[in-house]
Amino acid sequence: MTVGRDVARVFAAMFPDGALYRVEPVGELVADPDCLVAGASWEVPAARVAAVVDPVVLLRSRPVEAWLRLLERATGDVVAGAAT
């Protein structure tokens, strides 16, 4: 889980048939140990889908470099927001 919509879009694009969902956590949120940006990604035992935001997020809709720039900008926003 992530609080950043652009972060979620990038992760969704990296999977075949990726989609973007708004979810509600079921259980305790724990910082994602695989994420190098504090506050950008969370683990939770389960999540309930509250809404489908974008049913199709395709990697091929933009160059990989563009996705990576989006992720860099989005995680920078998460880090900046956590500092305030």
The confidence band for 81, taking pLDDT boundaries of 50, 70 and 90, is very low
For 79, the enclosing helix (H) or strand (E) is helix 64-83
The confidence band for 77, taking pLDDT boundaries of 50, 70 and 90, is low
Give the chain's radius of gyration (CA, Å). 13
Mean pLDDT of 56-74: 76
At position 75, the amino acid (one-letter code) is T
β-strand partners of 42 = 31
β-strands 20-26, 46-54: how paired? antiparallel
pLDDT at 21 over 50: yes
* pTM for this predicted structure: 0.66
pLDDT of amino acid 26: 96
